[in-house]
Amino acid sequence: MKLYTINTGHFKLDGGAMFGVVPKSIWNKLNPADENNMCSWAMRCLLIEDGNRLILVDNGMGNKQDAKFFGYYFLHGNDTLEKSLNAHGFTSNDITDMVLTHLHFDHCGGSITYNSDRTKLEPAFKNAKYYSNKKHWDWAVNPNPREKASFLKENILPIQESGQLNFIDSSTELIPGLSFLEVNGHTEAMMLPLIKYKNTTVAFLADLIPSVGHLPIPYVMGYDTRPLETLKEKDAILKQALDNNWTLFFEHDPITECINLERTEKGIRKKDGYLLSEI
């Protein structure tokens, strides 16, 4: 098995929304905001190569939205999904399995693209099975008012229409060494991949702990639908990661890819930061 970091670009979100009840005087030291209170965040995905399987975890926001949409989220940087795949010798047609932690646009927008003359939406990964969680899928296609702006039909429904949609849950082992943890604080039934790799377990944290700055238990995003549930889930996974010396992989941290943990007088915190390729 080999793991590769797939960078799909950066975007901006309101710092207050990203840190919830934490005051700006504190969070602004962790990820400084611009003049509009917006902070830059990565959309960092993970590629798993195992034999003839090429499994991609999340795929960023894609490029099919209009200028008005990107005007809200300020997609920036030189990275794209296809460029990052190409850098490792792959293309989107090589992907055999597309795992979606959840269906918010910044995690699944690259799932669907336009055909060559922009008349039809179609899967970006023509040879892949797409995986979601059934409870989360039903939640996303019947969105509540709080999350409706994050669940875009054009990112979701064409997956099912293509016949490529499959479902996983916490009992699924997609390949030996790849399992999933279901968490429900951020959104219904978000799936976190746990990968046994070399001498560690790599935990892909998605939006449970989006960045190093979110390690303190009370630092919970304003986007979370069940913030008190997030507190419990963070506490549990951080303790498990510390006890077992897991590698934590951050999807949204603008700088840091991976860390190990240590216990401090302030709680569980970052010990070492490093690139996935350095494991």
Only one residue has tokens 């840190």, namely 19
Query: What digits encode the pLDDT tens for the residues 163-220?
Result: 999 999 999 999 999 999 999 999 999 999 999 999 999 999 999 999 999 999 999 9
- Give 75's contacts (C-beta < 8 A, 6+ positions apart): 9, 10, 11, 61
Query: Is the domain defined by 2-278 classed in CATH 3.40.50.10800?
Result: no
Helical (H) or strand (E) element with 169: none
Only one residue has tokens 């506490």, namely 235
The 3-state DSSP class for residue 166 equals strand
**Could you tell me if 95 and 125 are in contact, meaning their C-beta atoms sit under 8 angstroms apart?**
yes
Name the nearest CA neighbour of 219 among 267, 156, 157, 162. 267
- Predicted TM-score (pTM) of the model is 0.96
Q: What is the pLDDT along the chain (279 residues), one digit of tens a residue?
A: 999 999 999 999 999 999 999 999 999 999 999 999 999 999 999 999 999 999 999 999 998 988 888 888 999 999 999 999 999 999 999 999 999 999 999 999 999 999 878 878 999 999 999 999 999 999 999 999 999 999 999 999 999 999 999 999 999 999 999 999 999 999 999 999 999 999 999 999 999 999 999 999 999 999 999 999 999 999 999 999 999 999 999 999 999 999 999 999 999 999 999 999 999
Query: Could you state, in order of their start, the residue ranges of all structural domains in the chain?
Result: 2-278
Name residue 135's amino acid.
Answer: K
